[in-house]
Amino acid sequence: MKKIQISPSILSADFSQLGFEIKRLEDAGADMIHVDVMDGHFVPNLTIGPPVIKALRKHTNLIFDVHLMISPVHKYIKDFANAGSDIITIHPEATDNLKESINQIKNLGKKVGVSLNPDTEISVIEKELENIDLILVMSVYPGFGGQKFIPDVIKKIELLKKIKDDKNYKYDIEVDGGINFSNSKDVINAGANILVSGTTIFKENNGNIKKNIETLKEV
Ligand code: DX5
Ligand code: ZN
């Protein structure tokens, strides 16, 4: 079984001191940093862009797991790659040509992720599964932190794990949205090996990030 990794979402961090927050996450044992990019068009919220990622890059060597909730996404992939993203994850609905966008990310030397909203079937991306490094299974509808986990996605995680094992694909299975101490074990047992969390990591146990990361990893 692959090592369980935690990718804290900085959407729940203190935006007035993101550099310090990133350091805090690294010191607390985060495996990577989940950066939620929202454009107010693909999702009804607006967060940060390439200049902020560039500014944060010097504060840590941790992997920047960049979740692009923007469309049309192909116009901005290069800027996010040049700003210091390590994994660039896109939504199939945000591009006219998923295969082309995947190749664009790979040609920039970055790992490529594809994200499935709760109501997006695996069939939408089935043809690309062998070419991607990560599948980001949304367990909430994208746009905001602090939402409630949608349990139906467990079946999707199990199916993605079965396809991966049957076809010997290499993709990581990352789950994002409403992850907490009461559903993390179900998500891991279903086949996920990377958990994204914002609210639970920053708010639980009086904000003891180290304890929250360790608790989410428990199986
Ligand atoms: C939602 C984002 C998630 C979210 C996770 O659109 O993609 O990464 O910030 O936050 P919590 O853990 O609070 O649901
Ligand atoms: Zn996210």
**Residue 2 pLDDT:** 77
How far, in Å, is the centroid of ligand 1 from the Cα of 180? 11
Kindly state the average pLDDT of the residues 30-57: 98
| Catalytic residue from among 31, 65, 133, 176 | 176
| Mean pLDDT of the residues in the chain | 98
pLDDT band at 157 (very low <50, low <70, confident <90, very high): very high
Using the CB atoms, write b or e for 131-150: b if 16+ within 10 Å: bbbbbbbbbbebbebeeebb
Q: Which residues pair with 173 in a beta bridge?
A: 135
Q: Is the pLDDT of residue 14 over 70?
A: yes
Q: Is the CB of 145 under 6 A from ligand 1?
A: yes
> DSSP class of residue 46?
B
Kindly state the average pLDDT of the residues 17-41: 98
Known catalytic residue at 96 = no
Share of the chain above pLDDT 70, in %: 100
Superfamily of domain 5-217: Aldolase class I (3.20.20.70)
Crossing angle between the packed helical segments 50-57 and 18-27, to the nearest 10 degrees:
50
Question: Which ligand is nearest to the Cα of residue 179, counting in written order?
Answer: 1
| Catalytic residue from among 31, 36, 133, 172 | 36
Element holding 190 (H helix, E strand): helix 184-190
Known catalytic residue at 36 = yes
**Residue 1 pLDDT:** 67
Task: Specify whether the CB–CB gap between 112 and 86 falls below 8 A.
Answer: no
Q: Could you state, in order of their start, the residue ranges of all structural domains in the chain?
A: 5-217
Residue whose pair of structure tokens reads 């310090």 in the numeric block: 20
Residue 159: which residues within 8 A CB-CB, separation 6 or more? 122
Q: Is the CB of 198 under 6 A from ligand 1?
A: yes
Structure tokens that stand for 133 in this block: 């490094």
pLDDT tens digit sequence for 194-207: 999 999 999 999 99
pLDDT tens digit sequence for 162-189: 999 999 999 999 999 999 999 999 999 9
pLDDT tens digit sequence for 112-145: 999 999 999 999 999 999 999 999 999 999 999 9
**Angle (nearest 5°) at CA 9 between 20 and 71:** 115
N- to C-terminal Cα distance for the chain? 11
Task: Specify whether the CB–CB gap between 47 and 34 falls below 8 A.
Answer: no
Residue 37: which residues within 8 A CB-CB, separation 6 or more? 47, 48, 49, 66, 67, 68, 69, 70, 80
Task: Specify whether the CB–CB gap between 68 and 37 falls below 8 A.
Answer: yes
pLDDT tens digit sequence for 60-81: 999 999 999 999 999 999 999 9
Share of the chain above pLDDT 90, in %: 99
**Angle (nearest 5°) at CA 189 between 183 and 195:** 60
Nearest to 116 by CA among 142, 95, 97: 142
